[in-house]
Amino acid sequence: MIANVVLAGISLAAFYFVLSAGLSLVFGIMGVLNFASAGYFLVGLYAAWYMLGHGSGFLVAALAAGLISGVTALIVEFVMLRPLYRNPGGQLLTTLGVMLILTEAVNWVFGPQIQQEPMQGLLASTLPVGGLPFPVYRLLLIASGLVIYLLLVALLRGTSLGLKVRAGVESQTLAELSGIRVLPLRSLVYALGGILAGFAGALYGPFGGVYPGAGTDTLLLTFIVVVIGGLGSVGGTLVASLIIGLAEALVGFYAPNLALTVNVLAMIIVLILRPQGLLGRAPGRRDTHAA
Amino acid sequence: MPRNRLWLPPLALLAILYVVWPWLGGSPFLVNLITGGVIWGIFAVSYDLVLGWTGEISFGHALWFGAGIYGVALLVQATHIDTMLAILIVAAITAPLSFLVHIISLRLRGAYFAMITFAIAEFAYLLVQNATALTGGTNGLTGIMLSPYFLDPNFLYAIPAALLLIFVLGLRAIGRSRSGRIVHAVRDNPTRAALFGHNEVLVKGITLSASSALAAIAGGLYLAYQGMAFPDAMSSNTGFMVLLMVVIGGADSIWGPAVAGIGLYLLENSLTSTTAHWSLWLGVVYVLVVRFLPNGLGGLGPRRLWAPRGQTAILHEGAGQSRTKVRESNLE
Amino acid sequence: MTLQLSALQASLQGAPVLHAVDLDVKPGQVLALLGRNGAGKTTTLRTIMGLTQQTGGHVRLDGRDLGGAPTWQRARIGIYFVPEDGGVFQELSVLENLRLAGRGQPEQVLGAFPELKALWHRRAALLSGGERKILALARAALSGSRWLLIDEPSLGLAPAVLRRLGQAIAALRAEAGVLLVEQNLRFAQSVADDYVLMQRGSTVDQGPIEALRESPFFAQAMSFGSGEGDSA
A chain contacts of residue B130, beta-carbon cutoff 8 Å: 257-258, 261
Residue C229 banded pLDDT, cuts 50, 70, 90: very low
Check CB contact of B122 with chain A, cutoff 8 Å: yes
Overall domain count for chain A? 1
Rounded CA-CA distance C141/C2 in Å is: 18
Give the tens place of pLDDT for each residue, B228-266: 999 999 999 999 999 999 999 999 889 999 999 999 999
Chains in contact with B, where contact means 3 or more Cβ–Cβ distances below 8 Å, are A, C
B310 pLDDT exceeds 60? no
Please report which confidence band the pLDDT of residue A286 belongs to, taking 50, 70 and 90 as the band edges.
low
Name the more confident of C145 and A70: A70
Task: With respect to residue A263, please indicate whether it lies within any of the assigned structural domains.
Answer: no
B contact residues 131-190, partner A, Cβ 8 Å cutoff: none
Q: In terms of pLDDT, which residue wins out, B305 or A83?
A: A83
> CB C83 to CB B189 under 8 A?
no
Mean pLDDT of chain C: 86
Three-state secondary-structure class, residue B310: coil
Scanning B284-303 for CB atoms below 8 A from A yields 284, 286-287, 290-291, 294
pLDDT digits (tens, 9 = 90+) for B92-139: 999 999 999 999 999 888 888 999 999 999 999 999 998 888 888 888
Mean pLDDT over the full length of chain A: 88
- Whole-angstrom Cα distance, residue B283 to residue A141? 33
CA-CA distance, A168 to A164, in Å (whole number)? 6
| CB C52 within 8 Å of CB C21 | no
Q: What percent of chain B has pLDDT over 90?
A: 60
Burial B86-119 (b: 16+ CB within 10 A, else e): bbbbbbeebbebbbebbbbbbbbbbbbbbbbbbb
Residue type for position A97: G
User: Contact at 8 Å (CB) between A96 and A87?
Assistant: no
Q: What pLDDT was estimated at residue B326?
A: 30
The pLDDT score that the predictor gives to residue A285 is 53
Q: Are C217 and C197 in contact (CB under 8 A)?
A: yes
pLDDT score for B273: 62
Cα–Cα distance, A56 to A51 (Å, whole number): 5
Residue C231 pLDDT class (50, 70, 90 cuts) = very low
Q: Is the pLDDT of residue C87 over 90?
A: no
Q: Which residue of chain C comes nearest to A167, CA vs CA?
A: C89
CB B48 within 8 A of CB B246: yes
| pLDDT greater than 90 at residue C162 | no
C113 confidence band (pLDDT: 50, 70, 90): confident
CA distance readout (Å), A227 to A13, A47, B115, B321, B322: 15, 28, 9, 21, 21
- Lowest mean pLDDT, pick from A257-266, B46-55, C108-117, C223-232: C223-232
What's the CA gap between C181 and C44, in Å, rounded? Answer: 10
**What burial letters (b/e) apply to B133-172, b meaning 16+ CB within 10 Å?**
eebbeeebbeebebbeebeeebbbbbbbbebbbebbeebb
Distance CA A65, CA A78 (A): 20
A-chain residues near C91 (CB < 8 A):
166, 169-170, 281
pLDDT band at A89 (very low <50, low <70, confident <90, very high): confident
Tell me how far apart the alpha carbons of residues C139 and C126 are, in angstroms, rounded to a whole number. Answer: 17
Nearest to B331 among C13, C87, C90 (CB): C87
Residue A85 has pLDDT above 60, yes or no: yes
Per residue in A256-284, pLDDT (tens digit) is: 778 888 888 989 988 888 887 777 665 55
d(CA B296, CA B292): 9
Per-residue confidence band for A45, with pLDDT thresholds at 50, 70 and 90: very high
pLDDT in tens, A90-148: 999 999 999 999 999 999 899 888 888 777 777 778 888 777 788 888 999 999 999 99
Closest chain A C-alpha to C104 CA, distance in angstroms: 14
Give the start-to-end residue ranges of the domains of chain C: 25-40+71-231
Residue A289, pLDDT > 70, answer no
Select the residue of B115, B279, B329 nearest A223 (Cβ to Cβ): B115
Distance from first CA to last CA of chain B, Å, rounded? 52
DSSP per-residue string spanning C48-92: HTT-SEEEEEEEEETTEE-TT--HHHHHHTTEEEE-TT----TTS
CB proximity B321 to A under 8 Å: yes
Q: By CA distance, what is C87's nearest residue in A?
A: A174
Is residue B206 a contact partner of residue B38, using CB atoms and an 8 Å limit? no
Q: Which CATH superfamily is domain C25-40+71-231 in?
A: P-loop containing nucleotide triphosphate hydrolases (3.40.50.300)
* Element at B213 (helix H, strand E): helix B200-226
pLDDT band at residue C160 under the 50/70/90 scheme? confident
Of B55, B108, B316, the CB nearest to A285: B108
* DSSP codes of every residue in C136-163: HHHHHHHHT-SEEEEE-TTTT--HHHHH
Residue among B104, B286, B314 whose CB faces A97 most closely: B286
Interface test with C, best of A159, A160, A170, A178 (most C CBs within 10 A): A178
Helix count (H) and strand count (E) of chain C? 8, 10
Q: Are A198 and A47 in contact (CB under 8 A)?
A: yes
Residue of C nearest to A179 (CA): C72
Encode pLDDT of B146-176 as tens digits. Answer: 999 898 888 899 999 999 999 999 999 999 9
Question: Which is more confidently placed, A96 or A170?
Answer: A96
Handedness of CA A131, A136, A141, A146 (dihedral sign): positive
**C72 with A166: Cβ contact below 8 A:** no
Predicted pLDDT at B321: 34
In a domain, B10, yes or no: no
Q: Is C98 exposed, middle or buried (0-12, 13-18, 19+ CB in 10 A)?
A: buried
pLDDT at C158: 84
Residue numbers in C near A182 (CB within 8 A): 72
Query: Does residue B220 lie within any of the structural domains?
Result: yes
Kindly report, residue by residue over C11-58, the tens digit of the pLDDT. Answer: 987 788 999 999 999 988 999 999 888 889 999 999 999 999 899 999
Residue B181's CB is within 10 A of a number of other CB atoms, namely 13
What is the band of B67 on the pLDDT scale with cuts at 50, 70, 90?
A: very high
Per-residue pLDDT of C211-224, as tens digits, reads 888 888 887 777 65
Question: Quick check: B287 pLDDT over 50?
Answer: yes
Is the pLDDT at B304 greater than 70? The verdict is: no
Q: Residue B4's pLDDT band (boundaries 50, 70, 90)?
A: low
Q: Which residues pair with C93 in a beta bridge?
A: C123
Rg (CA), chain A: 19
Q: Which residues lie below 8 Å from residue B10, measured CB to CB, with a gap of 6+?
A: none
For residues A255 and B115, the model is more confident at: B115
Average pLDDT on B66-93 reads 95
Task: List the single best residue of B188, B325, B327, B332 to mutate versus C (max C Cβ within 10 A).
Answer: B332
Nearest to C92 among A166, A173, A180 (CB): A166
Q: How many domains does chain B have?
A: 1
Task: List the single range of A217-221, B109-113, C102-106, C228-232 with lowest mean pLDDT.
Answer: C228-232
CB contact under 8 A, A257 and B130: yes
Please judge whether A86 and B332 are an interchain contact, meaning their C-beta atoms are less than 8 angstroms apart.
no
N- to C-terminal Cα separation, chain C: 35
Half-sphere CA count of B1, side-chain side, radius 13 A: 7
Summarised one tens digit per residue, pLDDT across range A190-216 is 999 999 999 999 999 988 899 999 998
Could you tell me if residue A244 is inside a domain?
A: no
Give the structural domain span for A128. Answer: 14-212
Which residue in A108, A174, A265 is closest to B280 by CB distance? A108
pLDDT at C198 over 50: yes
| Residue A283 · residue A243 · CB < 8 Å | no
The whole domain housing B35 covers: 29-326
